[in-house]
Structure 1
């Protein structure tokens, strides 16, 4: 079942959300349509529980509706602090969090989300003095010059485990980590004392994952400048690569920024 609902959605799942909101003390008409009233109620729950206030009902919001808040979840205060550290508008950080992050930084079992990149593993093996070609001939799902082989979710840890048998450091470095998909091989440039320290931080919480994102932006002058100026096409290209337009990242970022900046003005 889909667990991500926002303004404009409709159906039985939205109706169930509205019933949960009403029973939790945030009454809304049970229409099955995610309208502005439903969005406001979701935001009220998020604010009350210290979650990121975006009006999007995802897994964290549903957990909060059960009266539970997990300590490793990203909070709204984390986003405000990140904006202060980078010297950018909070609305800009909120937009990036909504569009560029994968939302949940943790799996249901508490481990950080990862995506094992077999083409990056090829390069990291070379960096560690290991010839990837003969390994790729027998394990193309783990080692390749082409992207792919993704399993998603917890299954990515199975791929990581297989890669660790070849070279543990290269395997960790070949994963993107957490909500903001920071590649492991950046650990040294981001100021972590070791790869192990970076991985431990990613395992700690979504706030630590956001911290890695802040470091990633701060160490790249062009990326930081693009975020400060809200030049979304430039930011998306630098963050996602040349294919950013295919997924409309820049347009989505601009739209999200407009939403959050208008909400900030309305609240002022």
Structure 2
């Protein structure tokens, strides 16, 4: 994690009265500390075809349903294809930035449109960290799980109830374990 991200996370976390180490754990687990793709400079995204299918059921198939999870060079063409079919549905169906907050949460974060949320996140790492904090701040159950260091509940709320199944599918460590390890790492520094 870069010193800039650590310092920005401490700053934003203090505004929300959060444990910055939890915020760093989210950032590490979600994007490995990258808010922007080091190759292209574009904001980090993960386009979710299943969500796009729900948001734009009329959209014909195309590149949007062929993306490869976590490979930015595949995510962007899939997103761009979906965007050409329905811009708002595409942005709502994509998680963005350091915390990979889904676009459909734009109202919850206080934005009038999903495009405003995206524009805000594209401006800076600080704004991306703010979006993570605002997402947490607007969920009483998530805030309580964080206070209790209940990593299973944190994972279930932040990453969805199917997080264990996703871990098995992709041969990954479950989200709750990764979050706990990342938190412990930042707690020992």
Deviation at 1:140, TM superposition (A): 5.5
1:207 matched to 2:138? The reply is no
Aligned pair in 2 of structure 1 residues 259, 102: CA closer, same or farther (>3 Å)?
closer
Match of 2:64 among 108, 127, 142: 142
1:249 matched to 2:175? The reply is yes
CA displacement, residues 70-126 of structure 1 (integer Å, 9 cap, x when unaligned): xxxx53221112322332323222222222344211112221011211111111115
- 8 A Cα contact 2:95 2:102, kept in partner: yes
For the residues of structure 1 that align with 2:152 and 2:78, how far apart are their CA atoms? 33
TM-score normalized with structure 2 length:
0.83
1:258 matched to 2:176? The reply is no
Deviation at 1:141, TM superposition (A): 4.6
CA displacement, residues 142-199 of structure 1 (integer Å, 9 cap, x when unaligned): 35xxxx6326213322122211221111111111111211111111111012222111
- Considering only CA atoms, is the larger Rg found in Structure 1 or Structure 2? 1
Specify every segment of 5 or more residues in structure 2 that has no aligned partner in the other structure, as ranges: 168-172
- 8 A Cα contact 2:26 2:99, kept in partner: no
Structure 2 matches for 1:189-228, cutoff 5 A?
A: 189-228=108-147
- 8 A Cα contact 1:82 1:93, kept in partner: no
Specify every segment of 5 or more residues in structure 1 that has no aligned partner in the other structure, as ranges: 1-45, 53-73, 264-268
For the residues of structure 2 that align with 1:238 and 1:159, how far apart are their CA atoms? 26
Per chain length, whose mean CA-contact separation is higher, i.e. which structure has more relative contact order (CA < 8 Å, sep 6+)?
A: 2
- Structure 1 segments, 4+ long, off by >4 Å, are none
- SS of equivalent to 2:64: coil
* Alignment root-mean-square deviation, CA: 2.2
Match of residue 39 from structure 1: none
Higher helix share: 2
For the residues of structure 2 that align with 1:102 and 1:204, how far apart are their CA atoms? 19
